[in-house]
Structures are given as structure tokens and as C-alpha cells.
Structure 1
Amino acid sequence: MHTTAAATESPSAEEPPQTLLDLITGVLSLLLLSSSSVQSFVGRWQVLATKLTSLRSSLAALSDSPHWSQNPLLHTLLPSLLSTLQRLQSLSGQCSSSSFPGGKLLFQSDLDIASASLSNHLHDLDLLLRSGVLHQSGAIVLSHPAPGSDKDDLVFFIHDLFTRLQIGGVEFKRKALESLLKILNDDEKSASLVAKEGNVGYLIGLLDFNNYHFSIREQAVTAVSILASAGNESRKIVFEEGGLGHLLRTLESGSMPLKEKAAIAVEAITADPDNGWAISAYSGVSILIEACRSGSQATQTHAVGAIRNVAGVEDIKMALVEEGAVPVIVHLLDSGTSAAREKAANCLSILASSGEYFRALIIQERGLQRLLNLIQDTSCSDTIEHALRAISSLSVVESAARVLSSSTALIVHLGEFIKHGNVVLQQISASLLSHLSVSDGNKRAVSSCMGALVKMMESPKPVGLQEAGTFALVSLLTVKSNRKELVRDEKSVMKLVQMLDPKYEHVAKKFPVMVVAALLHGGSGGCRKRLLAAGTYQHMQKLVEMEVAGAKKALQRLSGNRLKTMFSRTWRE
């Protein structure tokens, strides 16, 4: 079979689209005829004939699209398609004459390459047709939708840029990614629409190091990172499309900028408790630990955040220990950014609450001392909260409890948190203060927080606040000077009496009763007088009748002074 003139012309992107389409249609018609009469590799040509028939249908659909010729993607796609068809026509001529100058193996290879190229062209044409961008004038060179644009316009633009992303070369991909990043950065709400309407799986595939230019990968990692961080819906789609595995590989082997973006995305994905298990499936524990150990400060911050997110997953806890996570996390308490220190403290608080083994390991790595240092060095309430929770869990270890009980700096800080901290810090600090064996001298040092502890007793929320305040106050009242100081605080005494009133329902009566009993401990006449003068006696009588725990004994102590006064007066008379 002889090659036609049309087939020998060199396809050019400069040709008008209609001219290129006419040339393609002519060569395609000849190929469909010749594919049925070849003498060699008949099976392969039967497969090719099926593809050529599909191509004819696609070209018909293309020409029916009202604005197909305006699409710049076709300026690249059509010349490439024509070149492939011309190559196939030349190969069909050799098959018809059974002439294989380079041998059958080489010919077979050439035929397979041309067939694969044809498949790629079919895929691109199908994608272009399904995207709908050929049905609107100006498609593919659309201006960026303005803020507040109609949803349909934004959806069309998303389809458009993902078409460019999948069909075009490096420059088309770069420009498409620039458009995508602009959408994602301009409007946070657009992320869910991009995730639903765009091909997130293809976007994630651009993270593959082996196939794409660095700038493409960097833009793709940035886009995936934004999608993963934007909300539950887009994060779920990124995870379901296999994004976590690609991101972990990027975190392991990428450049520093890529690692930072990947770490942000991994932290966002693992924030969903349902995704935590997958870290182990992708061997991500060791990758995250190494990122904490040797990554940039930004990478460390988000990597330890991801570890924090999965530290509560049972299967991952032991992996963290086995891979050496604890010393790395402890080190971040004083070497990381403020955000990294907060997340590291949070992570240690989770591990410290997980059991004796983890507590021993943290103490062994000098985690307790670094947590104490962190409390003194930071003013961030969230960081302090996590550090205190970790310290509180570690305090059940006898050796740690001795260190904490003798730390005047810690006790003073606890007093300050009780006075000036938020309600969470108050509760944790009061609870820790009540559980430690604090010296009398240190109890006197924090006596100024007793008024705040009384106020805590009034608050029904959060659960446990009243109890923590009561126990801490009772602990401080074992010191005589503190008892005297509290009863001199008229405001606190009036609050205490109000809490004793059976009509005051916001406080469990056992708590103020415990404080009254503590104030009367040691037989201080001055404390009794002040409590009696404030009206405590009547309330205590009613609480005894109500059988409130401890009320009877407290009333006996309160009454003792009154009986002595009566007997003394009678004797003098």
C-alpha cells in the first residue's frame, strides 16, 4: 500500500484547526480500510481498528461542539494525533507488503508504541469532550472567576483547568495549577467544590517524583495541602484518593519546601480520628519521627502535630516507642517553635496517660524536667495546659511526685494559674496541688490563691471544678496561718456561708462542709467566732438534718466554742 500525500505532509500546530481535522479525517478513513486488509500482525490490527472506530466517533463529537476550534489544547493535540495516524498508515503499508526492513521485532515494537500513542490521544479527546469546555465560547482561556461568582461559572472554570491539567504539557499544567491555587487561596469555601468537581486523584498523582517537573510537583503539593486543610469534605476526598501515601513519600524524600507542605497536609489528614490507622499502613511513623528529628522548624511543627493526632491510636503507641519517638518529642519541648512545643507537650500528655511504661520512658528521657522548664518559659495557655496534664499524669510515679512536691517554682506557678488562669488551667492546677505532698512553707507561699479556690467552688461547670477547688483549699488549710488568713477574707467567708445554705443548689454541700471542717481543725477560736458571726451555725444544723457527709462532725467543732462560752458565763455568775 502506498502512502498518500496527505499522510506525508508534516503536521504543524500553525495549521488552522479545521485544516488539521480534515487531514486527520482523511488519514483515518484510509487507515480503517487498510486495517482490514493487512497480511501480518492481524490480531494487533484488529485491536487498532477498534480504537480507530472510537476515534472516528470522538472526532464527530468534536466537530459537533460549537466552539471546538477555539480550544488551544487542540493546537497541540491535533498535530500530535495526525502524526500518530500518519505513522500508523506507514506501518500498515509495511504489513500489507510484508516488508520489515528492521526485522519483525523492531516493527512490532514500533506498532505497539504507535498503538499506545493512539490510546493516549483517545483518552485526551474523551476527557476534553466530557469536560464540557468545548461547549462555551472562550473555553480554556477563561478569566478567573471574580469573588462571589455564580456557582455554575466556578464549576465550569474548575472543569476547564482540570482539563488543561490532564491533557496539556508542562506549561498548560503549570498555568492550570496557578489558576487552581488562586481559586483555593482567594476563597476557602471553594475547596469543597474543587474537591467534588475536580480530579483530585490526578492532582495527587502529580506528586510522583519520577514523572513531573519540580515546579509542577511543588504547585501540586501546595494545592493538595490546601485541600487537605480546608475542611472535612475536601480532606476526606484527598484521603480516599490515596493522598496520605503520596504525601508521606514526599515528606520522606522531597525538597525542604515540599516537605513543609506535605507535613501540613499529613497533619490535617490525621486530624480525622478515622484516618489515624493509615499512618501505620503507609509506614508513616518512622517518616514522621525523622521529620521531627531533622526537618525544618516548619516541618517539625506539623510532623509532631501529626504524631500528636495519632498518639491515641492503640496500634501506633507502641510503634512510636519502638521507633524512638519519645526522646525526639521531648527534645522539641525546648528546641522547637512555640507551636511545636505546644504539640509536643500535648503528645506527651497523651502518652503519659497511657500507662506506666510510657510514663517511665518519658521520665527516663528527662521529660519531666523539660515540662517544668516549659511551664516557666511560655505564656501560651494551651501549651501550659498540655504540659500540666502531662505532669499530672507523671505525678503518679513516686520519684516524680517527690520532685514535684519539692519544687517551689512549680507550686508558685500552680498558685498563679489558679488566680489568673482560664478555668481549665485552674482545674488542672488545683487538682495537682491537692495531690502533691506540699510543704507548709510552700503552702504559705501560695496562700493568696485561696480566694480563687473558694470562687472555683461556686462554679458548677466544668464537671470536677468544684471538687478540685475544694480539695486544693482543704490541703492549704492544714497550715494554721492559712486558716486565719482565709477567715479574715470577708468576701470568701460570705461565699462559703452562701454555699452552705441548703437553698443554694449550685454546689454539692459536702464541699463547703469539708472547708468548714478544715477551718475548725486545731480548735482555733478565732476561726469559730468568724464563722459563727457569718451565720454558719444555722446552715450547719440543717445540713446535719439532711445527713450531709461530714456535717455532724463539723457542727460539733463549731458548737464546741459556744458550749465553752455558755459554761464560762454560768461559772462567773
Structure 2
Amino acid sequence: MGEEQKRTEPPNSRNCPSPSTTGEEDLRRLIDEIESLITLSHTVRVFSVKWQVIRKKLKELSAYLVSAETTHPNQNQNHHHRPLDDAIAVITNTVRECRDLASRCISVAYSGKLLMQSDLDKVISKLDYAVKGIAAIYSTSGVVTGELALVVLKPNLGSTREDMRFYVKDLWTRLKIGDTQLKIQALVSLNEVIAEDERYVKIVVEIGDFVIHLANCLDSTDLIIQEECAFAIAVISGFDCYKGVLIVSGVIGPLIRVVEKGSLKAKEYAIRSLEKLTENGDNAWALSAHGGVTALLNLCSKDEVDVELIGPSCLVLRNLVGVEEIKRFMIEGEAISTCIKLIKGRDELAQIGAAEFLQCMSSGDENVRQLVIKEGGIRALGRIFDPKSDFSFKSRESALKAIENLCYSSVEYVNMLINYGFMDHLLYFLRKGDISIQELAFKSACRLCVTSEEARKAMGDGGFMAEFVKFLEAKSYEIREMAAEALSIIVAVPRNRKKFANDDHNIGLILQLVDPKEGNSGNFKFLLSIVLSLSSCNHARRKIAHSGYVKNIEKLADAGVSDAKKIVRKLSANRFRNMLNGIWHS
């Protein structure tokens, strides 16, 4: 009789639900017990830190169990889920043990603090084990559908690395074995955390094959999966230390296939990733080997393409210019004419990207410069910088940088700019532009004045000297010094000296600013150079001699400053000649 009783007794009878109840009822009862315990825990006034941890674990368990409740096997008799039933039994015992501890803490009915702390640590470990165990149950039986998957809660801010890693591994499992809907949910959750906290990015990279799987999913026929994977790779590519992992994982080929055939969003993310990855010139060949150069050039040259893709594509191509063979391939593929066409268009990002691409292509390459000019590139760029146009500051900034790169190193090309009216554009923005464009024009004008004698003459005739004088009193020391240097270069041209001296204010201000106290500054040296040049002009020399600030020059001469001594000698020689002339004619 005893043996018969043993055979019919279910195993682990102490931990199993009563035969009179269903698994669904036990699950509901456990959820209610957990919620009740969470409420009770708020009344505990001792060991508050440990009870906060316990509450967090209880809330996670409750979320898992509520998610499982609607799909419990009792709702589908053909579906067996014994591991979940066993987990419910174990968790029920742990929850009851936790309730007992809560009651003892509330009534302060424990023998010692150290012993109670030990008991609380033990129950925290049990709850943590339960959380991880129930979350892992679904991962043991192949492909999981969204209906059966338990949801692991996203860790709170300040969570441990272990919690974060557990969460990422859960997402990794879903991505590997889940159906389409579960894969999408996993990717969305993944992208949420890696976009918020870079620590998650490190964990993703550390988990074996995760990045490889993301790369493979770029070829998914489901556009949402493709887009989410492209976004994840774009985020990871933003970290220099992980670019090598992406390359080794084989992302280049799939990214280029996305550029060719993916959705608009996926293409945007793919191009962003390629731009980051090709910042390292060593990766340029990998892109070229997979047909990436052709794909990007085709994208830029098609009229029907989404314009928001063109600018970023140009930036990827810009990164490839450093490889001479790829650069020549792009030139043969009519990259220059394509860029000029984009510059003539109206899309800002496309203009900026194309201008930067041209700038890199032509840097140090006279043959490319000639091709750009032959194709009308200078005119197209100059049109963007024309005050009569309504282009944005960013477009004008990129156009001006490209103009400087293309033309400022050649007297011939500078003369071409002058003939195109470029000087007038610069002068307009110096006089009437807002602060940002005015500073841009000022710095460009300072660089222009050193390019050629013709440029300096044109600037003297055009009225640039008066504008530079205004910048001598700017708040920025850098601007003041640049203005002084530019003026010293321009007034070195004899015909410009007399024009400069025609305005009494100009000479008076220069002499006033030549302060002996600033004798070691670059600004001071350029101002003194201006006065020295002007002292070679009779008209200017007389005004210097009669200025109330000429004493500044005399003090510097007495202090042994070379240029100041030269100026004083010229002024003295002029006075001596005047005396002789007076005696001769008397």
C-alpha cells in the first residue's frame, strides 16, 4: 500500500501546485501575491536599500508573469510548457519567503541585523535567479513567436553592467530565434538603448557574432528589419574603436547592397555608416571592391533619386579621394561634371557635399583643377557666393572654401575670379553681411591679398582697405592681427599708399594703435610695417609727421625698435629737405 502511494505521488509535491488548481490559476495567484508584496514592501522602514532592490526584482517578475498569463499552456492544451509551471512553483516559494522577511522587518522581529541582512541578500539572489530563469525559458525550443515570448524589462538608469548585459543577450536571443515580429521588437529595443547609452554598444560588440548577425540581417527581405539593422550599424560605426569590428564582420558588402536596393531610411543609415567607416583610408578598397564607388556615383547622378541621399553620398566619395586609383576611377566616371551639376542645383546638402568633394578632388592636383574650370565649376561656385542669390550660409561657406582651394594658389585663376566679379561679392559681405558671413568674407579676403600683385591692386581700388581698417578695432585679437597683416600687404603696393593716406582717419588710427606697450605683439609689428610703407609716400609722410600720435613712433625709435628708427629717419630726412628747399627759395 505504501509503495502504491509512492508511485502515485507526483515528484516535488511540496513545490507543485495543488492538483485541484490549474496552472493558469496558480499563475494568477502568484501575480496577485507579488503585487501585494510590492505594496507591503513600501511600509518597511529598515534596510531600505535592500528593499529597493527587492522591489525592483519583484516588479520585473510581475511584468514577465503578466506577459505569460495570456499565453499560458492551459489556454492551448496542445502546447506543453512544463518549465514555466516549475518556475511558477519555485517563484511562489521565494515570494512567500520574501513576505515572511517583510513581516519580520516591519515588526522588527529579528534576532540581529547581520543575520537579517544575510537573509535579505539570499532572497535577492533567489529573485535575481528567478528573473533570469523565467526570461530564458523561451530560448530553449527553437523559433519563438511574439505570443509566447516573455518580455525582459529594460534596465533602469544606473543599472549594473551585469543587468545590461543580460538584457542585451536576451535581445540577441530573440534576434536569432524569433519570428519576424519578435526580431523587429528586439531590434527596436536594441536601437533604443544603444542610442541612449554607449555602454550598450560595447556590450553588443563584445557578444560573439552579434555584429555579424546584424550585417547579415541587412539583406533581409523585410524592410523594417533592414532599416533597424542599418540604424544599429550606423550607431556602432560612430565609435572609432568599433569600426574594425564592423569591417571584420563583413558589413561593407551588405551596406552597399542596401544603398543600391534598400528603402530610403535604410539607405540613409547605410550611407552614414559608410561615411564613418571610410574616414579610415584603409577601408576605401573594401568599399571599392564591393562596387561601392559606382553605386554612390550612380546615386548622385540620377535625377529621380531622393535628394537627401546625395549630400551624404558625396561625403563618402570625398573620403575615397586619398586613394589615387579610386580617384582616377571617379574622374573617369564623370564625378566632376556630376558634382558641378549638383552645385548648380538647389538642394543645400547636395551643394555642400559636392563642393567639399570637388575641393578634396582638386587639392594639389592641377589636372583636376583644370577639369573643374573647364566644366564651369568656378562660375557655379561663384554663383552660390553671389549676394543676389538666396543660398544658405552653409552652402556659401562650402562654396567659398572650394573657391579658395581651387583658385588662390594660381595667379591665373585669381585673375579669372576678379573678372567674374568675385571681389565685389567679398566686399559686399564685408560691408553688409551678418556677423557669420562677414567673418567668413573677411578671412577669405585676408587670404586673397597674398595671392598676387593684381589681387592687391584690385583690392586697393575696390575699397577693401577702408574695411580692413574697421577690423583693427575688433574685439577679437586674432581678427585685429589679421586685419593689420592684410593692410600691411596691401599698402606695400605703391598705388595703394596714396589712396590709404587720403583719409586722415586711417593714418591717425594706425599711429594711435602703435602702442609702445604692445611692442611684442604680432598686431603691433604689422601696424608698424604699415607706417613704414606709408612713410615712403610723400603725401602720407607729411600726415604722419603732423599727427599728434607720431610720438609713439619716436618712443619706439628711442627704445631701439628697428622699423620705428627707419620711420623716424625718413621723417627727419623729409624735414631736412623741406628746410633746404626753404633756404634755396628764400
TM, length-normalised to structure 2: 0.66
Q: Quick one: which of 545, 561, 567 aligns to 1:529?
A: 545
- 1:530, CA displacement in angstroms? 5.0
- 1:219, CA displacement in angstroms? 1.8
- 1:382, CA displacement in angstroms? 5.2
Taking the aligned partners of 1:357 and 1:475, their CA distance within structure 2 comes to: 32
3-state DSSP class of the match of 2:502? Answer: helix
Partner of 2:317: 307
Q: Quick one: which of 426, 432, 435 aligns to 2:442?
A: 426
Taking the aligned partners of 2:438 and 2:503, their CA distance within structure 1 comes to: 25
Alignment partner of 1:206 is 2:227: no
Partner of 1:38: none
Alignment partner of 1:268 is 2:276: yes
Partner of 1:217: 226
Listed as ranges, the gaps of 5+ residues in structure 2 are 1-75, 87-128
3-state DSSP class of the match of 1:535? Answer: helix
Partner of 1:104: none
CA contact (8 A) 1:204 1:246 kept: yes
Q: Give runs of aligned pairs for residues 190-201 of structure 1, distance below 5 A.
A: 190-197=200-207, 199-201=210-212
Give CA-to-partner distance per residue, 1:143-171, whole Å, 9 cap, x none. Answer: 22234433322211111101111122222
Q: Quick one: which of 180, 189, 192 aligns to 1:170?
A: 180
Partner of 1:86: none
CA contact (8 A) 1:352 1:359 kept: yes
Residue type of the alignment partner of 1:77:
G
- 1:179, CA displacement in angstroms? 1.2
Residue type of the alignment partner of 1:242:
G
Residue type of the alignment partner of 1:516:
V
3-state DSSP class of the match of 1:144? Answer: coil
Give CA-to-partner distance per residue, 1:247-271, whole Å, 9 cap, x none. Answer: 1221123233322221121122223
Partner of 2:413: 400
Quick one: structure 1 residues 372 and 481, their matched pair in 2 at CA, closer, same or farther if it must change by over 3 Å? same
CA contact (8 A) 1:431 1:471 kept: no
Q: Give the fraction of aligned pairs with identical amino acids, expressed as a percent.
A: 22
- 1:432, CA displacement in angstroms? 1.1
CA contact (8 A) 1:304 1:343 kept: yes
Partner of 2:79: 14
Residue correspondences, number? 455
Partner of 1:103: none
Give CA-to-partner distance per residue, 1:276-295, whole Å, 9 cap, x none. Answer: 44333333222221122223
Listed as ranges, the gaps of 5+ residues in structure 1 are 1-10, 22-63, 81-137
CA contact (8 A) 1:349 1:386 kept: no
- 1:538, CA displacement in angstroms? 1.9
Q: Quick one: which of 464, 477, 499 aligns to 1:481?
A: 499
Q: Give runs of aligned pairs for residues 283-302 of structure 1, distance below 5 A.
A: 283-294=291-302, 295-302=305-312
Taking the aligned partners of 1:542 and 1:260, their CA distance within structure 2 comes to: 68
Q: Give runs of aligned pairs for residues 354-373 of structure 1, distance below 5 A.
A: 354-373=364-383
Taking the aligned partners of 1:462 and 1:362, their CA distance within structure 2 comes to: 35
- 1:19, CA displacement in angstroms? 11
Residue type of the alignment partner of 1:205:
N
Alignment partner of 1:144 is 2:209: no
Partner of 2:337: 327
Taking the aligned partners of 1:463 and 1:267, their CA distance within structure 2 comes to: 37
Taking the aligned partners of 1:368 and 1:281, their CA distance within structure 2 comes to: 33
Q: Quick one: which of 443, 463, 474 aligns to 2:461?
A: 443
Q: Quick one: which of 569, 577, 584 aligns to 1:564?
A: 577
- 1:427, CA displacement in angstroms? 3.2
CA contact (8 A) 1:301 1:339 kept: yes
3-state DSSP class of the match of 2:385? Answer: helix
Q: Quick one: which of 237, 240, 244 aligns to 2:245?
A: 237
Q: Quick one: which of 367, 376, 388 aligns to 2:400?
A: 388
3-state DSSP class of the match of 1:149? Answer: coil
- 1:362, CA displacement in angstroms? 0.8
CA contact (8 A) 2:385 2:399 kept: yes
Give CA-to-partner distance per residue, 1:450-490, whole Å, 9 cap, x none. Answer: 21454589946999886556324645971633332274464
TM, length-normalised to structure 1: 0.67
- 1:425, CA displacement in angstroms? 5.3
* CA-atom RMSD in angstroms: 4.1
Partner of 1:506: 521
